[in-house]
Structure 1
């Protein structure tokens, strides 16, 4: 079979991007595959093309509703009607009908939580799938251990003698995460394709501050004089709102995006950003996964990411068109301690383990802990998963290890920020790779001139009657002092 002919027939392309053909060839042979391809390298083609070759349903397990819907819309734009998302957007009747007719679809998108529902498993067991895809597979390690343990149960559903090949897709993964993916998906000697994580067109800056309050002034000034589109990441929902509000006061088309917003509102904001109605998004890390916007020019981290992998994922949302983009980390003394606190604050501990056992001893459901305000729902999900996996004493050790790992992960980000050597080289080494070549304006340590990477905001340059941006900024800051 000539894969290029199938590619041209269904997608109109005459050649593959690096890694696509290698991955598809192994899938066609029936092999399990782990593929690490950078953002914008066409990961979705790796399962869409086999869907036409095998002509049987492809099951795609996807982490976010917005990501799922975006992928469905993209496939529909290719004139493929046999695609569906089985998720909480469907009401009870729609869900029932969709499950009944699931075998009629070519591409089936589903969340890990929905996958584990008995009626869904029963239907899938009666079907002959051609391929099972786990998209954004790093979430198995990153989210499964933290707040969505159903990720760790995906492999239990797939652990069947006659299952189809599994394709695990991600943009980045360390050796540990690769091991987690292979283990928890119960993959059988997978073929692994790892593309370099380096994105030469993303130039890495950093700005150090004495205190956190200085960051806001810097952001307002920087955004006012430089062109987007861009994303500002922060750890706090309230900060996304306050920074967004300040930018709106300055006439910058901006919106705040975080998990506390209604699902439809988040989708609307995301679509506005994609179609260019919004120049900037101020977001928690809930934003960006699977967002297909080619021309993001800037990523600014107001708060440091919780780990290096998150940082790599988040800056990877810039420059998907191959043109230069800028990623700037802002860091002030105390940011690392705050990041550590956020990372382990909403997390079960030894007291919760003892409490869980006490509820069991009284023949009460341990989930009552949530209603009684003794634990958050997120922390309970993590606790409940491990209490069903290992001995309670081992659970205590596991939770302590996970907390220690979270603290260490923050320290690794700080090491990247404080390094005096090449930031790009250090970042690539973190993922077990070597940097082959440095671009000009590589990073803050190698020499970086922002003006070589990003343009000035044209709207302010062209507005001759407007007050200078410095005067506008001073006026706005004075109003909030």
Structure 2
């Protein structure tokens, strides 16, 4: 699996969607300057007011010049202003609400802001974006390059030469933005290189930041290391971004990155154009005729979510046999096949995709009309994120969830399967701690491990195994993950291998030729035997990569070996092992109960007496206001001045509320300052005022 592939793990995904509730920053709140001096700006002095306006002015100019928008939406301006003033910030916006602008604009604004502050820097530094999605990183860097912004992503698909070029750009201060995965933070060379960037690390942006919380719905152990990374590279400020954060998860993020509550900017997951429904059945089989009937009466692009890969294939085949344009999608498919299905869905060449949660992250298709959960979602966060993919164009869209008792069994099966036995846990620790060590580059003791082998040997799934190692590293300080290595290298001769090897007189070329043995089509290179002759692994791998890029061979590496530096004396006595096993097992029992609680919350959402929208808002810590906002009549008048539409009060209310529609786009109102200008109002109150205005006209 790719380092950046979310896979099909049940409790592994994100997001929500559109609208507005927010934590307003007090007017007297103090702010740190961009260089972190902590000077207070309480709004009393003219200089501080001028600087605030100038910072926003810089951001607004870039928004127009580089991104083509006339005004910010929702809390974008507040978030960008907070970042440019040097404050750590948490942004909780639904998918499609423009989270990426909250770090992209600051990344290219620092040079101008430095001038405002009277700072004379030779280099304006770089912004590092940590993201788990390789496809999203590529899409964003490509889009930024088209706008003339120097951005790159350091990922596993890059060739050796491309990585060398990126490193040179970093060293010479030419890059403004660099995207990387959280797993990249285990690479010692990468972390070390960022300590010496000309101009420094101005901003670290943490995308999908909810992954840092051990109690969130898609916790990823490598995210826990991001906070340490901030200190190691001396990042000036941090912005964390997520579409789904409960109050507990938001608190975890704030504690990890020292974010003040006044810098938590949040919008609601609720959008009034989504129709949320659920239907109970006795068995899974009863869902199929209901689904077929639903699809006949609900047109448009549709996502059908299932839990298991096999379900995706069987259900897609069933829909095809009924005459529907449908394809299956899951993490077990080949990358080219997945990419083709995604592209065809985006182009509306395929109407229905039956998918596991592996599909959808980073998808930005505005006209998805239906989201159907054939199985119950694993978490409320997962449900919120998935329904949020519907109706981003503001038009009515439908979301149906089918639920039966079998769904609960599957969810419990996933949750219960992650807790290893005490015997397995103790066996794992003895195996790891009693391994023979090798010397690291600086003479330190290093353990090499194959996670797949450990998983098989001790009957522990991959996800809990990674959590165990993260806990041993971050809580107990026993080990530290360092740059992993591949244990096997194979290559296919493309017709030039022998000629290339014969003409290359380097020691590395001779070693490859000597220690590469052919079996039918593929050569297997014994890198350990080659290293025994005194050559370095890095130089040997570099030679293989060079030949691969030259087209002489087709190289594939496998068998990832994880490497851990020993930080202090490891447990050795029976008492020490028992104590550690007990503590780790208790933690994992807590995770099991938390996973079951997440699944129960989905059941409560469906069976509760409140409407889905209100329950979703409460789940994410957004409580409906007791008293509605008084209608801003001047704001109503301003919209009526800008827009001469008088035949559709709902259209005018949508403009005020910030809901896109084809007519909004046609009139280019989404770029107007009045669009979403009354987003904090009650929609029905806006509708009432605009109905009056239309009647009078």
Q: Same fold (TM over 0.5)?
A: yes
Q: Distance in 2 between matches of 1:13 and 1:393?
A: 56
Residue range with higher mean Cα deviation, 54-63 or 44-53: 54-63
Tell me whether 1:118 sits opposite 2:197 in the alignment: no
| Partner SS, residue 416 of structure 1 | helix
Tell me whether 1:85 sits opposite 2:153 in the alignment: yes
**Other-structure match for 2:45:** none
**Other-structure match for 1:405:** 594
Q: TM-score, normalised by structure 1?
A: 0.84
**Other-structure match for 1:71:** 140
Equivalent pair of 2:312/2:356 in contact (CA under 8 Å): yes
**Other-structure match for 1:331:** 403
Residue 383 of structure 2, aligned match among 311, 315, 325: 311
| Partner SS, residue 368 of structure 2 | coil
Q: TM-score, normalised by structure 2?
A: 0.59
Q: Distance in 1 between matches of 2:214 and 2:337?
A: 26
**Other-structure match for 2:169:** 101
Residue 130 of structure 2, aligned match among 61, 65, 71: 61
Tell me whether 1:432 sits opposite 2:432 in the alignment: no
Q: CA RMSD in A?
A: 2.4
Q: Distance in 1 between matches of 2:342 and 2:267?
A: 28
Tell me whether 1:173 sits opposite 2:241 in the alignment: no
For the structure 1 residues 4 and 431, does the alpha-carbon distance in structure 2 shift closer, same or farther, using more than 3 Å as the test?
same
**Other-structure match for 2:228:** 156
Residue range with higher mean Cα deviation, 103-112 or 200-209: 103-112
Q: Distance in 1 between matches of 2:469 and 2:273?
A: 44
Tell me whether 1:387 sits opposite 2:576 in the alignment: no
Tell me whether 1:137 sits opposite 2:209 in the alignment: yes
For the structure 1 residues 250 and 177, does the alpha-carbon distance in structure 2 shift closer, same or farther, using more than 3 Å as the test?
same
Q: Deviations over 1:362-418 (max 9, x none)?
A: 436675523536333333212222233244322111101010100111111101111
Shift of 1:276: 1.8
Shift of 1:283: 1.1
Q: Distance in 1 between matches of 2:305 and 2:297?
A: 19
Unaligned ranges ≥5, structure 1? 438-481
For the structure 1 residues 123 and 145, does the alpha-carbon distance in structure 2 shift closer, same or farther, using more than 3 Å as the test?
farther
For the structure 1 residues 259 and 40, does the alpha-carbon distance in structure 2 shift closer, same or farther, using more than 3 Å as the test?
same
**Other-structure match for 1:206:** 278
Shift of 1:216: 2.0
Equivalent pair of 2:195/2:233 in contact (CA under 8 Å): no
Q: Determine which structure has more spread, i.e. the larger CA radius of gyration.
A: 2
**Other-structure match for 1:466:** none
Shift of 1:62: 0.8
| Partner SS, residue 281 of structure 1 | strand
Alignment of 1:347-426 (within 5 A): 347-360=419-432, 362-363=434-435, 367=451, 368-370=453-455, 372=457, 374-388=459-473, 389-390=475-476, 391-426=580-615
**Other-structure match for 1:22:** 78
Residue range with higher mean Cα deviation, 132-141 or 85-94: 85-94
Q: Distance in 1 between matches of 2:357 and 2:303?
A: 10
Q: Distance in 2 between matches of 1:113 and 1:402?
A: 22
| Partner SS, residue 246 of structure 1 | helix
Q: Distance in 1 between matches of 2:311 and 2:277?
A: 22
Shift of 1:334: 3.0
For the structure 1 residues 121 and 379, does the alpha-carbon distance in structure 2 shift closer, same or farther, using more than 3 Å as the test?
same
For the structure 1 residues 383 and 161, does the alpha-carbon distance in structure 2 shift closer, same or farther, using more than 3 Å as the test?
closer
Q: Distance in 2 between matches of 1:274 and 1:421?
A: 35
Residue range with higher mean Cα deviation, 408-417 or 138-147: 138-147
Unaligned ranges ≥5, structure 2? 1-53, 112-124, 437-446, 477-579, 629-697
Residue range with higher mean Cα deviation, 14-23 or 426-435: 426-435
Equivalent pair of 2:88/2:258 in contact (CA under 8 Å): no
For the structure 1 residues 32 and 190, does the alpha-carbon distance in structure 2 shift closer, same or farther, using more than 3 Å as the test?
farther
Alignment of 1:445-456 (within 5 A): none
| Partner SS, residue 104 of structure 1 | coil
| Partner SS, residue 213 of structure 2 | helix
Q: Distance in 2 between matches of 1:344 and 1:237?
A: 19
Shift of 1:147: 6.7
| Partner SS, residue 599 of structure 2 | helix
For the structure 1 residues 340 and 169, does the alpha-carbon distance in structure 2 shift closer, same or farther, using more than 3 Å as the test?
same
Q: Distance in 1 between matches of 2:435 and 2:202?
A: 45
| Partner SS, residue 336 of structure 2 | helix
**Other-structure match for 1:250:** 322
Q: Deviations over 1:147-180 (max 9, x none)?
A: 7311111111112584221111111210111122
Q: Distance in 2 between matches of 1:145 and 1:21?
A: 29
Q: Distance in 1 between matches of 2:262 and 2:226?
A: 16
**Other-structure match for 1:294:** 366
Equivalent pair of 2:215/2:594 in contact (CA under 8 Å): no
Q: Distance in 2 between matches of 1:401 and 1:106?
A: 42
For the structure 1 residues 164 and 266, does the alpha-carbon distance in structure 2 shift closer, same or farther, using more than 3 Å as the test?
farther
Q: Deviations over 1:421-465 (max 9, x none)?
A: 32211111111112469xxxxxxxxxxxxxxxxxxxxxxxxxxxx
| Partner SS, residue 201 of structure 2 | coil
